[in-house]
A = this chain, B = another copy of it.
């Protein structure tokens, strides 16, 4: 009998980038129709469900899902007792992790959590905020906010607890960050019982390895170049120490070919130096996955 891993995929603004992320890892999801929340996937051992990231920790904890991809912020807000198998940094706009912050108007007198005594706070993170206040011994009214919180200050709330990636929405609403409650990244979580099931655990570990391999590849590129044997040492000394390069012989015995994987964001400094040090025919090529 075929086994299935039931996995929660975060519905909403991260949905498309999550599908793209899985595609790079080798799993192709497809919406079977406009309304459906059961995407199809080309792996018969997976049963994906599109669910709001806020709810995934709850359903994984309860065992309704075996596993799920969601943010650390919602795991914490739910206080969910789940296994965190892997951490990924990816988002729509940047590679910055999400921060859950306490924010207030720039010109308000609120400069720390202690200035919130007796105030009203609007947030989607009601439980996270209440625990935060409790830890600091502050009493304030925490109201669940259905829509964007930024607009509510100061008329409808004194402060807010929201997530932010670049801070641009806060700046646009003349808000300052008073405190950071949490730095959040995406996590692959698993139900505690499912984690003890050998088949499910192996399945989740494979998914984690392939997702990580795809994420690595986004920030890495391959480099090949031809190098005079005489310059080999000086040129390899320029290369990042992370991994040894592959050195292959060439037809011309005075030259060798070097191949190495490097971080993409080092290339623009590295290439001019390699060229000046005598490397020739330097070629950069793209990668799909890298597994160390």
Contacts of A190 in B (CB 8 A): none
Which residue of chain B lies nearest to A124 when distances are taken between CB atoms in the complex?
A: B146
Contacts of A50 in B (CB 8 A): 151
Q: Within the assembled complex, what's the spacing in Å between the Cα atoms of A11 and B55?
A: 24
- Taking Cβ atoms with an 8 Å cutoff, the residues of A that contact B are 11-12, 25-27, 32-38, 42-43, 49-52, 54-55, 59, 64, 145-148, 151, 155-156, 168-169, 172-173, 205-206, 209-210, 213, 217, 221-222, 226, 243-244, 246-252, 257, 261, 264-265, 267-269, 271-272, 275, 280-292
Shortest beta-carbon distance from A124 to chain B in Å: 9
Q: Are B252 and A275 in contact (CB under 8 A)?
A: no
Q: Are A37 and B151 in contact (CB under 8 A)?
A: yes
Can you spell out 18 A-B residue pairs with CB atoms less than 8 angstroms apart?
Answer: A12-B147, A25-B268, A26-B267, A35-B172, A37-B148, A49-B155, A55-B147, A206-B268, A206-B272, A210-B268, A210-B271, A213-B284, A226-B246, A244-B252, A248-B257, A281-B291, A284-B289, A285-B286
Contacts of A11 in B (CB 8 A): 147
Shortest beta-carbon distance from A90 to chain B in Å: 15
Known: A156-B51, A265-B42, A286-B286. A271 touches B147 (CB 8 A): no
Partner of A282, one of B52, B222, B289: B289
Q: Are B281 and A261 in contact (CB under 8 A)?
A: yes
Partner of A59, one of B156, B168, B169: B156
Q: Within the assembled complex, what's the spacing in Å between the Cα atoms of A34 and B265?
A: 26
Contacts of A246 in B (CB 8 A): 226, 248, 250-251, 257
Partner of A290, one of B42, B156, B250, B283: B283
Shortest beta-carbon distance from A113 to chain B in Å: 24
Partner of A289, one of B64, B251, B269, B271: B271
Which residue of chain B lies nearest to A251 when distances are taken between CB atoms in the complex?
A: B247
Contacts of A292 in B (CB 8 A): 280-281
Q: Within the assembled complex, what's the spacing in Å between the Cα atoms of A194 and B273?
A: 22
Q: Within the assembled complex, what's the spacing in Å between the Cα atoms of A209 and B270?
A: 12
Partner of A26, one of B206, B265, B281: B265
Q: Are A261 and B248 in contact (CB under 8 A)?
A: no
Q: Are A221 and B146 in contact (CB under 8 A)?
A: no
Contacts of A248 in B (CB 8 A): 246, 248-250, 257
Q: Within the assembled complex, what's the spacing in Å between the Cα atoms of A49 and B148?
A: 13
Which residue of chain B lies nearest to A257 when distances are taken between CB atoms in the complex?
A: B246
Known: A26-B265, A284-B213. A52 touches B147 (CB 8 A): yes
Q: Are B286 and A288 in contact (CB under 8 A)?
A: yes
Shortest beta-carbon distance from A40 to chain B in Å: 10
Q: Are A271 and B291 in contact (CB under 8 A)?
A: yes
Q: Are A222 and B267 in contact (CB under 8 A)?
A: no
Q: Are B272 and A209 in contact (CB under 8 A)?
A: yes
Contacts of A33 in B (CB 8 A): 168
